[in-house]
Structure 1
Amino acid sequence: MALSAVSRQVVKKVLAVETPEGAGALVRRSIGSMTLRNLTPFLMLDHFHVSKGAGFPDHPHRGQATVTYMLEGSSKHEDSAGHKGTIETGGVQWMCAGKGIIHAEMPVHADGVPEPRGLQLWVDLPKQYKMVEPSYQELGPNQIRVAYPEGQNGPTKIRVISGKSHGVESPVRPLGGCWYFHVIFEKEGTIFQEIPAGWTSFLYIWKGSIKVGPKESALDVPTFHTAVLSAEETETGVSITGTAGTEFVLVAGEPLDQTVFQYGPFVMTTKEEIQKTLIDYQMGQNGFEKAHKWKSEIGNK
C-alpha cells in the first residue's frame, strides 16, 4: 500500500431495520431514517424486498436523482415522459427527476425466479439542476464495468456503477459528484478504494462482514448496517477487509452547500420552493403537466 494511502474510518454505524413501505413492500432504511439524516448529498437509502402483489405504483418526484440497483429478481418501470423498461438483476437505473416526473416501479414475479430485492438511493441535486428536464442513465447487468484490484484471479471484484475504481471508469455521469461501487469478496482479502478528498462516503453491507479503517483501529461492520466514514482532507480513500461471500456497496458524493427542504418525494432548498412545487403538482404545470392525466400500465393492473 502506497504511503499516500491514508484510510478513512467509521464515524457512525446504523442498523437498517426492516419496515413496511409503498404498497406492501418491505424496506431496510438507513439514510433518511431518524437515526441518520443530513448526510449531504444523500437523502435516503432503502434496501427493498418486494413480495407478490406489492410495489410502488404511480408517484411523483422533483429535485433529486433516484438510483435503483437490482440485487435479485427484476423490476419494471414506467413514467409520464414515455419511458419504460425492466431493470434486471445486476442492472442500474439512474433517474434524474429534475423539475418533475410521475413514475411507477413494479416488481416482476414468476415461478422459479427470486423475489425482487435491491437498493434505492436518493441523491440530492445541486440547486442549479433542480429544474432541469428529467433524464435517465441505465446500464444492464453486462454493461457495468468491473474492476479487479488484484487481477481477475484475486479475492475481490468491484462493479463500477459510477465513478472510478482501480483504473476502471463508469460511463454514468451524475449531475453532481457521486461514485457508487458494488464490492464482492469471493475470498478473504483487503482492498483500498480511493475516494475524492472531503467527499461524504458510506457503505452498506447485506452479505457477510467487513473491517473498515486502518489495521490498528479497524471497526467491524456486520450485515444490514450502514457505516458512515470520516472525511478528513488528508484521507485518500478507505481500507476494507472482508470475508469470503461478503457483498456491500461503497458510495461517495460531493457535499452540497445548500439547505434541504423535503416534502415526501419533493426535495428543494427552501420552504417557498416546496410550496411552489405543491402548487405546480396540483395545477399540473412546470413539469407536472401530465400529473392528473397520465396513468401507468404497470401500476394500475
Structure 2
Amino acid sequence: MPETNMSNVLKESRPVVRKFQARPQHEGVGAIVRRSIGRFELKYFDPFLALDEFSVTAPAGFPDHPHRGFETVTYMLQGAVTHEDFEGHKGTIGAGDLQWMTAGRGIVHSEMPAAQGTQKGLQLWINLSSQHKMIEPRYQEIMSKDIAEAAKDGIKVRVIAGEALGTKSPVYTRTPTMYLDFTLKPGAHLQQPIPISWNAFVYVLDGEGVFGNSRSLPVVAHHLLLLGTGDGLEAWNKSSKPLKFILVGGEPLGEPVVQLGPFVMNTQEEIDQTIEDFENYANGFEKARHWRSEATLGLDY
C-alpha cells in the first residue's frame, strides 16, 4: 500500500464514471437491505461481489446460512448483531465495531439482532483468488475503540483497511483492499491516494458531497459511485452539514466468477462440487450436520 500523504496533490483525480441509488429490498428473514453491488445493473466490481447497507429489527435477521470462496466484512453503524458459527465461534459487534470474516472452504453461521430497536450496518463481500478459495476460515474482529483513526483539516477518517492521513490499519487483507470511513466537515476538501491499478468506489452514508470534480453535482446518501482511472479521490463538502461516506478500493483478481448465492467459485464444476459438499456435510461443512445457532433456537425459521 503506497504511503498516504494528504499534503500531496493528486496528479489525476479519479472521475465518477457510474452512479447508482441503492433502493431498499428484502433479504434474509424480514431484513431490509440497500444493495448497490451485486444487483442486476452491477453484478460484480472486481474484486467486490456485494455491498449491502442493512437494517434489521428482531425477530428479523440472517439465520443459519453457508458461505464458501470469499470474505464478508461487517461494519456496524447502529445497534448490535450477534454472530455465531458451527466452529463454536461466537460474539457480538456493536456500533463502530468490525468483523472481517474469511469464509474460505466453508462456514455456516448466523447474524441476528442483539439489541432493541433497529440495527444498521454495512456488509461488503470481497472475492478470494482461486488459490485462496479453499483456505481454512478465519476471523478478524476489531472493536470500535481499536480502529485506527486520524483527523486533519476538517477531515476525520476511520482506517478499517489500508492507510489514510498517515495512519495504517492492522487488518490483514488477503485480497489487497482499502476500506476508509470518512467524515468531512462543511468546507473540507479531501485528496486520498488510491493505487492506480485498483478498482475503487464511494458509498455515501449521510449528507451530500461533490466527488471527482469540483464542478460535479452533489451526491446524497444511499448512492454508490464507481470511480474511473487516476491516482486518487478528490471530494468536497460544500454543504452546511457533515458529509459521511466510505471509500473502498481493491486489487482486481482478473479471474472468472461463478456464483450461486452464498457460494462463489471460478467454474461451474466447482459450484457443483460445493453444493455436493454442503448437502453431504463434507470438505469443510462436516460440522453443519448437527449444528444450529443458539440465536435461532425456538424461532420458526
Q: Which moved more, 1:33-42 or 1:61-70?
A: 33-42
Secondary structure, aligned partner of 2:296: coil
Q: 1:213·1:219 contact (CA, 8 Å) conserved in 2?
A: no
Who is 1:91 aligned against?
97
What is the alpha-carbon distance in structure 1 between the residues aligned to residue 8 and residue 204 of structure 2?
27
Aligned to 1:272: 269
Q: Which residue of 1 aligns with 2:161?
A: 162
Match of 1:281 in 2: 278
Question: Which residue identity is paired with 2:50?
Answer: M
Aligned pairs, number: 290
Which range moved further: 200-209 or 2-11?
2-11
Deviates more, 1:82-91 or 1:187-196: 187-196
1:191-270 correspondence to structure 2 within 5 Å: 191-215=190-214, 217-231=215-229, 235-242=230-237, 243=239, 244-270=241-267
2:127 matched residue in structure 1: 124
Gapped regions of structure 2 (runs ≥ 5): 1-6
Query: Could you tell me how far apart the structure 1 residues matched to 2:118 and 2:187 are?
Result: 29
Which string of whole-angstrom CA distances, capped at 9 and with x for unpartnered residues, describes residues 126-173 of structure 1? 11100000000111000101122x2xxx31100000001121000001
Q: Does 1:100 align with 2:97?
A: no
Helix, strand or coil at the partner of 2:271: helix
Matched residues in 2 for 1:2 and 1:79: separation?
45
Q: Deviation digits for residues 224-283 of structure 1, max 9, x if unmatched?
A: 10000002xxx2111011243211111000001101100010000000000000011111
Paired position in structure 2 for 1:134? 137
Aligned to 2:3: none
Counterpart of 2:76 in structure 1: which amino acid?
M
**In 2, Cα distance between the equivalents of 1:109 and 1:94?**
21
Shift of 1:24: 0.3
Q: Secondary structure at the match of 2:294?
A: coil
* Identical-residue share of aligned pairs (%): 45
8 Å Cα contact 1:56/1:299 also seen in 2: no
| Distance in 2 (alpha carbons) for counterparts of 1:209 and 1:11 | 18
After TM superposition, the structure 1 stretch with the greater mean CA deviation from structure 2, 137-146 or 186-195, is 186-195
- Structure-2 separation of matches of 1:9 and 1:299: 45
Q: Give how far 1:4 is off.
A: 4.4
Aligned to 1:70: 76
Compute the TM-score of the two structures, normalised by the length of structure 2: 0.93
Q: Could you say what the CA RMSD is over the residues aligned between the two structures, in angstroms?
A: 1.3
Measured after TM superposition, the shift of residue 6 of structure 1 is 2.0
Is the 8 Å Cα contact of residues 44 and 50 (structure 2) preserved in structure 1? no
Counterpart residue identity of residue 172, structure 2:
R
The separation in 2 between residues aligned to 1:268 and 1:259, in whole angstroms, is 8
Contact conserved, 2:24 with 2:32, CA < 8 A, in 1?
A: yes
Q: CA deviation at 1:5?
A: 3.6
Name the TM-score, length of structure 1 as normaliser.
0.93
| Cα distance in structure 2, aligned partners of 1:159 and 1:289 | 38
Q: Please give the secondary structure, in 2, of the residue aligned with 1:49.
A: strand
CA distance in structure 2 between the partners assigned to 1:72 and 1:256 by the alignment: 32
SS at the partner of 1:23? coil
* Structure 1 residue ranges without an equivalent (≥5): none
CA-to-aligned-CA distance 1:72-127 (integer Å, 9 cap, x gap) = 011000001111000110001000000000000001233xxx52100000000111
Q: Which amino acid aligns with 2:223?
A: H
Structure 1 residues 202 and 4, CA gap change in structure 2 (3 angstroms): closer
